Each structure stands twice: as C-alpha cells, then as structure tokens.
Amino acid sequence: MPQRLVAPRNRSLWPWRRSFRTRALPATPSPPFPDEYAHAAVVTAHVPGPKSQQQRQRLAALQNTAAVGFFADYAASRGNYLVDIDGNRFLDVYGQIASLALGYNHPKLLDAMRDRTSLAMLVQRPCLGVFPPADWVDRLHRTLGAVAPTGLTDVQTLMCGSCSNENAYKAVFIWFQTKRRGGRAPSEHELATSMLHRLPGTPPLSILSFQGGFHGRLLGCLSTTHSKALHKVDVPAFDWPVAPFPKLRYPLEVHQAANEAEEARCLDEVERLLQHSAGVTEHTDSRIAGMVVEPIQAEGGDNHASPAFFRQLRDLAAAYDVAFIVDEVQTGGGSTGKFWAHEHWELTNPPDFVTFSKKMQTGGYYAKEAFRVKEGYRIFNTWMGDPAKMITLEAVLKVVADDSLLENVKITGNYLKTGLQDIADEFPALVSNVRGQGTYLAIDFPTEAVRNDFVNLMKMKGVASGGCGATSVRFRPSLIFQPKHAAEYLDKMHEVCKALVHT
C-alpha cells in the first residue's frame, strides 16, 4: 500500500481543511434520496471480492469476462450507492456508463413497475411500428414530446444508442437521395440496382465524423467512431471522411486565443472536406450526406469545444446542405445541467437530428419534419423500442421535474468542479484539466497507468468510477447526486491523491 502520512504540499489551497464533508455544503432544492446509505463501505480486502471472483469464474465458462468489474446486488443498492454481492457499498459516480438517471431503486420507479396497469406493457414485446399500444401517442407526448429539443418535431423510438445513430444515418441517406431526385420515390432502376449494391440504388454516401468521436460499435456507426483502436481493429469499415476535433487547453477561459485558433483549424478542415465532397461525382468518391458530432466527446476523453465552434459547425452543415446529427446518447437527459447538452450552444438553426439512449431508458432520435422518410418500413424493425422503458422514462421525467433535478445537477456540479479544481491545484503534477458542465465533468492524469491506479485506489475506498480516453476519469453520476455525495467523493479523492504523489 502507498504511504499516506504526508503533510499537504505548499501549493495546497486547503492547508486548514479537515474534510470536504465537514464543511458547509451548498443547498440543493432536491429532496434527499429516501433511506439512502450514509456512506460507502468496502468490507473485503480486494475488489472484486471473493464472491464476485467466484461468479466471474463461473461466467468465464460462457463468455469473455474481461470487462466485468464486480457482480452487483441490485436489490440492495440504493440511491447513489451500488452494492456488490460481497457486501461492498460503492458511491457510484459512473452511473452504469451514464445510464443511471435516478440512482438505484428510486421509489417512484419502483411504484411505476408495481403499477398493475403497466403489467400488459411489461409482458409483451409488441411491434411498436405496426401495433402501437392504445396510449402510445399520449405516452410519447408525455415523455419524449415533453422534453423534445426546440425545433425537432419528429421522434422515433429505437432499441439502443448504436441503433439510434445508425437509423439516423439511414434517414439522412434516404433524405439526401430523395432530395437529389427532386422528392420522388426511388425508381424501379434504383430499387433493382440496390439489390446488387450497384449505382444508382446503392450510393457511396458518407457521414462525416470527428477524430476522437464515439457513436457506437455496430458496423455503420463504428465507421464514425474514432476513440479507441481496440474497438475498431479487425472489423471492416466504410471509408468515410474524418475531421479533426479541437484539442483544447483547459481551463477554457485561460487559453481562449489558442483555443479559438485550434477550433478555426478544425472548422477549416471540415469545410475543406465538405467542399471536396460537393465536387464529387457519384462515380469517384463518397459524397457527404450528413455529419455527426457529440456535444462533449465522452468515450474519446471528455473533449470539449466552445458553443461558437458548434454554431459554426451547424452553419457549415447548412451551407453545404448536409444533415447535422447531434449524438446526445451520453450527454442527453440532464447531467450537463440542461436537458440536452446542445442547448448550451444557443443555436438559431436547431440540429436536424438529435439521437439519445442511456438515461432516456429507450433509444431513439428526434428529427426535423423535413427529414421524415416518406415511405413506410424504411426506418423500421420488429420492435422499434420497448414500451416497458417508456413507463420508466415517464417516471424519470416526472421526478426530474418534481424534484428540480436539473437545478440539483447545476449546484452539485459547480460544487464538485470547484472541489476538483482545489485538489488539482494542490496536486498539479497529478490532476489537471478539470472540465465540464453540470455533473458531466472530467479530470486528467499524467499517464494511463496513473489514471488506472487512481481508479483502482478509489474503488478500494468505495468509489465506482470510470475512465475515458487514455488518461481521463469521467464523472457520470445520476441526477440525484447531491453536494454531500460530491464531498464524500472529494474527501476520498484527496486521500488517494496524497497517497499517489508519495508512492
């Protein structure tokens, strides 16, 4: 074990501090999670503990288990605390890779699932595109309609994030070709050649994406994913154009001039690719039909860009008449302090598509009506989502509103970010680039090995967290994460940082 008994370093701004938890915490309008655990607790000598290890060995007879952290006791988990089968209790700032909206076993979600009127929606797997449930339109209005991004009136439910992005891509391709042929339906010749994967039925269209972006792992969206090589290697890909994403220096306000130059460089490259594409004939190279971008590149390392960058990107897409897809699979649902992260950009021309999943419980996309596919069965699959998840989503959205959770996210996020910056100031060689909005925050470590050490030491202190990119740790707590939880995190982080710098 690393040493810990070392006095604070000179640069510390908190030489007088005993702990974050014992100081005054900012008030949040949100109620405390009922009967939540008081704090994290690790009771085994190692994590995963012996029971998890035993289960992992058993699972290894059936599949690769390299990604398994531990086996969870979901019935015992509550609020921000994820309990494992060895009785360890983790403060969860990873939130099931950003999928956890209201912590574990929120009473309102349990009530929704206990509601006997929901039973028929839990036991069937209906074809939502063919035989929608009686209350489907009302439920869409009460859920996805109630939080629809400004200007996007169409909505499709789908299964997961990858599926949502790929269907958005398909809708873009169909829109682009329909536009090319003056609004007509596909001709007999186009239909016939599509069965042979030949022109004109199968056009060499592309989706422009960004270095460091992540849009899923299916073969289409994996061609637009550029975050980690291990996700891509050995798998065939569409050779679509890729633009650089700004590599900004943090804090953003300190490096404004350099960051603006970097963003201008990337925008120039985007425009160059769009210009090239506009000159392409069908028979030479791929033509860009749309571009896809995350508001914050998550898997790629929590890379940010300025609202001005995104506004210009959106305008470039419009100028070259290609669709602008904003992938909010990870950023959507409130954790940046706004329900949709792209709201921070204050666009005058909304995105053409916004895709979602994770905290939204269901996958899907919003779109402007102009992008609606005219013919049936073209954006289609057997299930088109899962009505059971719409029941959960409805309960989630009601709690978000009733409990002022967006306000809670802003307050908790500000407090957590300030605390992270304090620790970064105290350990500048260890922690850097504190960044983010709401509780959607990240920090960097000097190397991948140190980052991994940090995550593992935090786990031994009872914190479940996750990395992203090569050297970052990302914060993806659920929306009920409050200042007291942030303080618990910061205290443990402070201890771990002290240990790490003196190892």
* DSSP label at residue 76: T
Span near its own copies by CB under 8 A; candidates 1-9, 65-73, 337-345, 397-405: 65-73
Q: Hey, which residues between 253 and 312 contact its own copies (CB under 8 A)?
A: 286
Any contact of residue 61 with its own copies (CB under 8 A)?
yes
Among 33, 81, 173, 310, binds its own copies (CB under 8 A): 173
Any contact of residue 146 with its own copies (CB under 8 A)?
no
Q: Hey, which residues between 113 and 132 contact its own copies (CB under 8 A)?
A: 113-114, 116-117, 119-127, 129-132
Kindly give the pairing relationship between strand 205-210 and strand 472-474. unpaired
Q: 7 vs 123, which CB is nearer to its own copies?
A: 123
Q: 9 vs 170, which CB is nearer to its own copies?
A: 170
- Can you tell me whether residue 466 is helix, strand or coil? strand
Please provide residue 222's backbone torsions phi and psi, each rounded to the nearest 5 degrees. Answer: -65, -25
* DSSP label at residue 446: S
Single-letter amino acid, residue 11: R
User: Shortest Cβ distance from residue 63 to its own copies (Å)?
Assistant: 6
Any contact of residue 335 with its own copies (CB under 8 A)?
no
Q: Hey, which residues between 227 and 246 contact its own copies (CB under 8 A)?
A: 228-240
Question: DSSP characters for 325-353?
Answer: EEE-TTTTTSTTSSSSGGGGG--SS--SE
C-alpha–C-alpha distance, residues 102 and 148, integer Å: 20
Count of residues engaged in binding its own copies, rule: CB under 8 A: 126
C-alpha–C-alpha distance, residues 269 and 278, integer Å: 14
User: Shortest Cβ distance from residue 46 to its own copies (Å)?
Assistant: 17
Any contact of residue 473 with its own copies (CB under 8 A)?
no
Q: Hey, which residues between 16 and 55 contact its own copies (CB under 8 A)?
A: 55
Span near its own copies by CB under 8 A; candidates 38-46, 75-83, 276-284, 467-475: 75-83
Span near its own copies by CB under 8 A; candidates 367-375, 428-436, 443-451, 455-463: 367-375
Which residues, at least 6 apart from 477, have a Cβ–Cβ distance to it below 8 Å? 80, 92, 93, 94, 95, 100, 335, 439, 485
Span near its own copies by CB under 8 A; candidates 23-31, 188-196, 304-312, 417-425: 188-196
Any contact of residue 373 with its own copies (CB under 8 A)?
yes
* DSSP label at residue 20: S
User: Shortest Cβ distance from residue 277 to its own copies (Å)?
Assistant: 14
Sheet of 472-474, strand order: 432-437, 440-444, 472-474, 466-468
The catalytic residues are 214, 327, 358, 382
CA dihedral sign of residues 410, 412, 418, 423: negative
Any contact of residue 418 with its own copies (CB under 8 A)?
no
CB 490 within 8 A of CB 416: yes
Among 163, 416, 443, 496, binds its own copies (CB under 8 A): 163
